[in-house]
Amino acid sequence: MDLNKLASEEFHKVAQIEGSENILRDYFSEISNPNDTLYIFLCQLMFAPRLEGYMTDIQEMLYYKNPNNPMVLIASFQNEDAARRYVENKFFFEEVIYDTDKSFKSFLSFSTEDPRVPLLMKIDRKSGRLLTGGDWTTISPDFINALVNHTEPMPFYGEVWSEKINYDHS
């Protein structure tokens, strides 16, 4: 299963901005787990609450397959206190980054202005690269195996896709 090809075909796309490797490394530098490989869930909290429910299922499948690699939640919401309460009541993540100003956009580009659905990504901190990422509408044991085994960086933004979806119909 070619995850980067699959990711380029998803409706909600994510890609790393070329030249942002140091920014990505800095963004995740406070994560306490020493592993270079991180599984990242990026969620604009309360934007698509029904889809947030899938994150727990994915966490369980990933943990069963690969319990040593940490799963990190990037909780995007303008009010950090409200985000903390929401995350504590709804999710279990070893590490959470509360991003109140969407600073992840300094190294990630999306097919929409902001992420509109929860996204799952795999990064390599050492190289500062996004290995793969997407909204992954079909999660299966085969997909989890492919995700765990995936090691090649995905193309930078603009190398495979660069179109943006505009929801402003004025």
The per-residue pLDDT for 104 is 97
- CA-CA distance, 3 to 103, in Å (whole number)? 25
The per-residue pLDDT for 164 is 66
- Which superfamily is assigned to 3-149 in CATH? Glutaredoxin (3.40.30.10)
Q: Are 130 and 42 in contact (CB under 8 A)?
A: no
The per-residue pLDDT for 168 is 58
What six digits make up the tokens of 66?
Answer: 């690969």
What pTM value is reported for the model? 0.89
Percent of the chain past pLDDT 70, that is, above it, reads: 93
Q: What is the mean pLDDT of the chain?
A: 87
| Residue of higher predicted confidence among 136 and 36 | 36
Q: What is the mean pLDDT of residues 147-158?
A: 90
- Phi and psi at 64, nearest 5°, equal -60, -40
Percent of the chain past pLDDT 90, that is, above it, reads: 48
Bridge partner residues of 16 (DSSP): 108
User: Which residues are CB-neighbours of 31 under 8 A, at least 6 positions away?
Assistant: 38, 70, 72, 95, 125
What six digits make up the tokens of 82?
Answer: 């409200």
Q: Which of 2-16, 51-65, 79-93, 128-142 has the highest mean pLDDT?
A: 79-93
Q: How far is CA 42 from CA 6, 34, 72, 121, 159, in A?
A: 18, 20, 8, 8, 22
Q: What is the mean pLDDT of residues 82-93?
A: 92
Question: H-helix or E-strand containing 90?
Answer: helix 80-90
The per-residue pLDDT for 51 is 74
Q: For the chain, how far is it from start to end, CA to CA, in angstroms? A: 40
